[in-house]
């Protein structure tokens, strides 16, 4: 098990998948998305799950303009789901202009961050802990990682307080 990512660490590189604006499946290096930028990388346990769908993701969509005004270049959402599920989930937020939905289908990147969560007993397999990282030029500046099923430190509002 990888050690949990922490403030001061350089985020690992890894390949994630998403559908681009022309509806083409793309594989992208996280470093290519984040190098030289100030990014928010946030993770959720699963697409279409209650807290993720009604609070966590909508919060970043609603606060995206405010986050960008405070210097955030990219807002990247990662979930241990396949890219087709992430595409369908993204479509449920037609107002979204700034949050990029990235699939970590086999949890490889989530393991590299040390943020995997075994939810097999709930029938969900390996998922991600809920988290929000503020990353500047690939280095973690803020690491808000939830404990258990909580949703108290990884919200867009909490990240805004750090900017």
Q: Give the residue numbers marked as catalytic.
A: 52
Side-chain-facing half-sphere of 128: CA atoms under 13 Å = 31
Cβ-based neighbours of 102, under 8 Å, separated by 6 or more: 16, 17, 18, 28, 76, 77, 78, 79, 86
Phi-psi region of 76 (alpha: psi -120 to 50; beta: other; left: phi over 0): beta
Q: Kind and range of the H or E element at 32?
A: helix 30-34
Q: Is the dihedral of CA 85, 27, 33, 42 positive or negative?
A: positive
């Amino acid at each position: 098990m990888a050690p949990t990512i922490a403030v001061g660490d350089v985020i690992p590189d890894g390949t994630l998948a998403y559908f681009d604006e022309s509806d083409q499946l793309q594989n992208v290096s996280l470093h290519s998305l984040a190098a030289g930028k100030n990014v928010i990388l946030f993770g959720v346990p699963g697409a279409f799950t209650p807290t993720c769908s009604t609070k966590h993701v909508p919060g970043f969509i609603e606060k995206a303009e405010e986050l960008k005004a405070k210097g955030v270049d990219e807002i990247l959402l990662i979930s241990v789901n396949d890219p087709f599920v992430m595409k369908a989930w993204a479509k449920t937020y037609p107002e979204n202009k700034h949050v990029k939905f990235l699939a970590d289908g086999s949890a490889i990147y989530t393991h590299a961050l040390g943020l995997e969560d075994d939810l097999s007993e709930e029938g969900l397999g390996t998922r991600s802990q809920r988290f929000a990282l503020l990353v500047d030029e690939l280095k973690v500046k803020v690491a808000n990682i939830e404990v258990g099923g909580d949703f108290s430190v990884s919200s867009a509002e909490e990240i805004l307080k750090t900017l």
